[in-house]
Every structure is written in structure tokens, then in C-alpha cells.
Amino acid sequence: MREELLAILEKNSRIDFKELAILLGVSEEQVLAEISALEKEGIICGYHTLINWEKTSIEKVNALIEVKVTPQRGQGFDRIAERIYNYPEVKAVYLISGSYDLLVTLEEKTLKEIANFVSDKLSTLESVLSTATHFILKKYKDHGTIINQNRTDDREVITP
Amino acid sequence: MTKPLSDKVLGLKPSGIRKFFDIVSEMKDAISLGVGEPDFDTPWHIRDEGIYALERGRTFYTSNAGLKELRQEISNYISRTQGINYSSDSEILVTVGGSEAIDIGLRALINPGDEVIIPQPSYVSYEPCAILANAKPVIINLKEENEFRLKPEELLNVITDKTKVLILPYPNNPTGAIMERKDLETIAKIIREKDLYVMSDEIYSALTYKNQHISIAALNGMKERTILINGFSKAYAMTGWRLGYACAPKEIISQMTKIHQYAIMCAPTTSQYAAVDALKNGDKDVEQMRQAYNQRRRFLMNAFKEMKLECFEPYGAFYVFPSIKKFGMTSEEFATRFLMEEKVAVVPGTAFGNCGEGFLRISYAYSIDNLKIAMERLNRFVTKLR
């Protein structure tokens, strides 16, 4: 049930225990127990909301930054990753295989703030060798959800 | 023109569902739970393979029996899911949907006057196809108390000297019934003893919610007398691609191929290329869709329980078949009033045979959100009736 439960929650974290129990064919108590176990084990890390900020009047600029770093003795990439992810404006940090090391996603109100973050904070870190900043122009799909998708039922009447 | 058209065709009943859904399409805010096809889009990688086939200019006919590579993949698929080995050279025919396979399969087997046994409630095409093939359809009225499974005594009761074929429609549309191994064993025994053919329509085989589907052709001595029909529409959400297949002994397939080549030539080429990818890389998609259907099935069964609507638990396809006998109305009256008063369309059980009287077919090829609204309305409707 664990995998199926996670698959449902990943799509809809607001679903209630009763409905989950019905969909999974188990009792509400079992659902409750499983979810608290998943939370305790750190498998469920949070319940977020996917927001299409573009539709609001609030300005947000998102950037992806490729970062090349020198790994530190004994700590590999973890130490430098921590120094980066502690900035609240940093939304995500991934260790990446390939031509650079860390992928950092950043959310700010203006382009200038992002520029400042990169030039003042990120590139001045001792182990950072180089950065390449890409601005996100438009989000088509995020977290498995297609933005601005209007699904219609196009199935036609057919006999039999 | 004054000369009359074919008596046989004129004698066929028009479908009872049609007029119903013409009303639905006109009605604002109406919800339909009537459609018998998946609500999912064909998985993207399959569509992409179809597009790629077009880009490469694969726009010619294929061989009559279908792309060699597709027949090989079908052979592999049946082997890995059922443990039956069909030769891709001589025992598999790719058809335009499972429906073509039903039609030409019956035509290949039947001599005038042969009897075809059709358990009902079931898919509406068997009876007309049998009639068009000059057979005499013999109906078995399946019972709810048996969960609409075919029982050996029901079969024995209708077998005569003229019986030629049993149509075995499981997992079943419209009831959602399945046949488990023990059920199939008892039927297979009679089929062997009475020396009959079986046309096993397994189009919903990938959608079962108890055990994995078992084909009757997998039982001892049954492959040689079975036409196994399956296709891509339900499992891979590929209804519009029009692609199915038949697996049978080469004596039967070669005769079916003759009809197929004169009437159809070959199944659509683009669809065949896409289907190769479906069989090679589609297992994960099928499992995801099956899981979603299963959740909806549980949701509906629970909703019925809460509103005290009787329904046996179906373990296959994407239909539930609740009983409305307590309301003192025919299925058609119930469905019509439900549509007019609550704007929800369901199909009266009688559309699938007279013994469907007292039942409704509700399809769960709809999103949970849709089903929720529909169940609220159904609850309101049955409360009003009580």
C-alpha cells in the first residue's frame, strides 16, 4: 500500500484519511498509521502547494544556476552544498553528474536580486570555481503537472 | 429504389444506447458515466512512436496478417502473461480492433444453422455478428447470485447437436465479472467433451483487481479449440487507433486471414508501429492505469454501500453493475429519470441483453472528481425514490 499511498499523496496532499482508506481498500487507522510512519521516517518531507505565480500580480524571477566547485577533503560536496542551501532564497540544490557539480534553483523578486546573489554570495564562496546562470522564462510543466492545461472530455458518442 | 435491402440487416435491432446519449450531448452540465472507453490519453511514448512512424514515411500497407515485429511482440506478450505459445508466423492475426476479430472469427467458424452460445449480459456485438454469420444465437442469462460467472450447468442446458461455439466474454462488459481458474476448468471440461470451439474475448484482460486474468486457452487441450481475442484499446487506452488481434490454431487463423484480406487488407500501419512500442515498453503505464481504475472501483463500491444500493463486487474491466430492482422501475425508466432529474447518464442493463433488466452499467472510466459529483446526485436521486 505504501507505494500507492505515496503516489496518491504526491498528486493530492489534501486528500482526507477517509477517502484514502476507500481508494486503497484499507481502514482509516491503517492509513493514519502508515502516514505517520512515513513522516517519522522522513519519507514524507512536507506538504506543499503548487502555485502558478505567473497568474498572480506578484513578481517572481526564477533561475537555475550551474555551479562548479572544488570538493573539500573529508566532506566531499556536502559542506559546500550546505553553505548554499542555507540561503532562504535558494529553493533547491542538487548534486549533478556531468560537466558541473551543483544545480541551484533560486527564486527572487527581481533579476537584480538574483544577479546580486550570484555575484556577492555564491561566486565569492571559496570552493566555488565558476557559475552559469539561466533564467526561467516560462514554466510549462512543474512537479509533474502541466501548467495551464484545460482538459476536456473529447470522447464522442459511439455505439456499441 | 424499390428493391428491399437485406432482410438480415433490416432485422438487426438498432442499439438502445444511442438515443440516450444523443440527449446527453445536448444537455448542459450533464455528466455521463456511460462511455466504454478509457479516459486516459494513450501514453506519450506510444503516441510518439506513431508520430515517428509517420515521419519515417511508414505509410504503406503492412502484410495482411500484420507487421511481423508486432506479431512477434504479441506472441511474447501472450507467452509472458498466459504461458501460451502462439507462432507469430501462423497463429496470430492483427485486426482492426477486437471487434473485427469477433466478426471474422465467427464467419470463419460458422455454417448456416450452427448455434453460437452467448452468455449475457455482454457486449452488444456478439449477437448481430453471429446472425450476420448465419448462426443461430443461443443466449444464456447469467445470474447475479453467481456474480455473473458462467456456470457449467447453465452451459450444459443449452448445448445441442448444432452447438458450435461458446463466446466467453471475461473480464466482462457490462458487469465487471471475471472467471477464475476454477470456473474456467469446469467450462473447459464441457467444451472438450462436447467438442466445441470457444471464442474468448479478453479485451479487458489487463484490467483485473483480484488475481491476474487467466485465459481459457491456457488450460489443457484448449488452445487447439480457442480463438483468443485481445487488443490495445482498453489496456493501453488506444481505442481510436483501432487495433486488436486474434490468436488461434493456424487452421482457423488462415481462414480468418482470408476474410480479413478481402474485407480489410490490413490493420492501420501507424497504429501497428505504435503498438509494438506499447507491448515492449507499456507495462508500467498499464499498471498505473489499472491502479487508478481500482481506486475508482473501490470509491464507487463504497458510495453504493453508503447509499444502500446493492451491487456485487466486480473484479474486472471498468464497470460496476448495481441492482435497482428495489425501486420498482425498469432499468430504462430508472436511467431516463436519473438523466432528466439529475443530469447523469448511465446505461440501462437491458442494453446488454434482456437479463440486464433491473441493473445499470456505470463506467468508471472517469476521474474521481467526476465520480464524486455523480455519486452525490445518485444518492440524492435514490433518497428521493425511497
Query: Which cell numbers in the block locate residue A114?
Result: 538574483
Dump pLDDT digits (tens) for B240-260.
999 999 999 999 999 999 999
Whether B17 shows a pLDDT value over 80: the answer reads no
Whether B16 shows a pLDDT value over 70: the answer reads no
Determine contact, residues B360/B342, Cβ cutoff 8 Å. Answer: no
| Residues of A with Cβ-Cβ distance to B25 under 8 angstroms | 157
Query: Residue B295 and residue A153: Cβ atoms within 8 Å?
Result: no
Whether B1 shows a pLDDT value over 80: the answer reads no
Vertex B163 angle, CA B161 and B164, to 5°:
125
Q: How far apart are CA B186 and CA B350, in angstroms?
A: 28
Which value, in Å, is the radius of gyration of the alpha carbons in chain B? Answer: 21
A57 burial via Cβ count (<10 Å: 0-12, 13-18, 19+): exposed
What strands lie across the sheet with A61-69, from one edge to the other? A90-95, A102-108, A61-69, A128-135
Average pLDDT over residues B320-328: 97
Q: What is the pLDDT of residue A160?
A: 65
Q: What is the separation of C-alpha A14 from the centre of its chain, rounded to a whole number of angstroms?
A: 18
Determine contact, residues B85/B79, Cβ cutoff 8 Å. Answer: yes
How far B114 CA sits from the closest chain A CA (Å)? 25
| Residues of B with Cβ-Cβ distance to A8 under 8 angstroms | 295
DSSP string, B175-235: T-----HHHHHHHHHHHHHTT-EEEEE-TTTT-BSSS----GGGSTTTGGGEEEEEESTTT
CATH topology assigned to domain B7-42+284-381: Aspartate Aminotransferase, domain 1 (3.90.1150)
B249 burial via Cβ count (<10 Å: 0-12, 13-18, 19+): middle
Mean pLDDT for all residues in chain B: 96
Mutation site for A-interface testing, chosen from B291, B366, B371 by largest number of A Cβ within 10 Å: B291
Residues of B with CB under 8 A from a CB of A: 15, 17-18, 21-22, 24-25, 35-37, 39, 123-125, 291, 294-295, 298-299, 302, 368
Average pLDDT over residues B197-221: 98
Q: How far apart are CA A119 and CA A129, in angstroms?
A: 12
Residues of chain A with pLDDT under 50: none
Which value, in Å, is the radius of gyration of the alpha carbons in chain A? Answer: 21
Q: What is the pLDDT of residue B28?
A: 80
User: Where are chain A's structural domains?
Assistant: 2-40, 53-142
Query: Residue B295 and residue A23: Cβ atoms within 8 Å?
Result: yes
Option in A25, A155, A160 nearest B15 (CB): A160
Average pLDDT over residues B23-50: 91
Secondary structure (3-state) at B118:
strand
CATH topology assigned to domain B60-281: Aspartate Aminotransferase; domain 2 (3.40.640)
Phi, psi (degrees; rounded to nearest 5) at B201: -90, 105
B137 burial via Cβ count (<10 Å: 0-12, 13-18, 19+): middle
Single-letter amino acid code for the residue at B58: R
| Residues of B with Cβ-Cβ distance to A23 under 8 angstroms | 295, 298-299, 368
Query: Residue A23 and residue B15: Cβ atoms within 8 Å?
Result: no
Q: How far apart are CA A14 and CA A83, in angstroms?
A: 33
Q: What is the pLDDT of residue A72?
A: 80
**What ipTM was assigned to the predicted interfaces of this complex?**
0.82
Whether B13 shows a pLDDT value over 80: the answer reads yes
Core vs surface per residue B140-179: b (16+ CB within 10 A) or e: bebebeebbbbbeebbeeebeeebbbbbbbbbbbbbbbbb
Secondary structure (3-state) at B132:
helix
DSSP string, B23-72: HHHHSTT-EE----S-SSPPPHHHHHHHHHHHHTT--S---TT--HHHHH
3-state helix, strand, coil in chain B (%, to 5): 45, 15, 40
How far A83 CA sits from the closest chain B CA (Å)? 39
User: Where are chain B's structural domains?
Assistant: 7-42+284-381, 60-281
Residue B333 CB neighbours (<10 A):
13
CATH of domain A53-142: 3.30.70.920
Q: Are strands B163-168 and A102-108 parallel, antiparallel or unpaired?
A: unpaired
Q: What percent of chain B has pLDDT over 90?
A: 93
Whether B21 shows a pLDDT value over 80: the answer reads no
Cα dihedral across residues B132, B135, B140, B142: positive or negative: negative
| Residues of A with Cβ-Cβ distance to B37 under 8 angstroms | 155, 158
Q: What percent of chain B has pLDDT over 70?
A: 99
Determine contact, residues A24/A32, Cβ cutoff 8 Å. Answer: no
Average pLDDT over residues B174-179: 98
B194 burial via Cβ count (<10 Å: 0-12, 13-18, 19+): middle
Dump pLDDT digits (tens) for B281-300.
999 999 999 999 999 999 99
Query: Residue A7 and residue B291: Cβ atoms within 8 Å?
Result: yes
Dump pLDDT digits (tens) for B85-131.
999 999 999 999 999 999 999 999 999 999 999 999 999 999 999 99
Query: Residue B123 and residue A153: Cβ atoms within 8 Å?
Result: no
Q: What is the pLDDT of residue A156?
A: 81
How far B87 CA sits from the closest chain A CA (Å)? 32
Whether B26 shows a pLDDT value over 90: the answer reads no
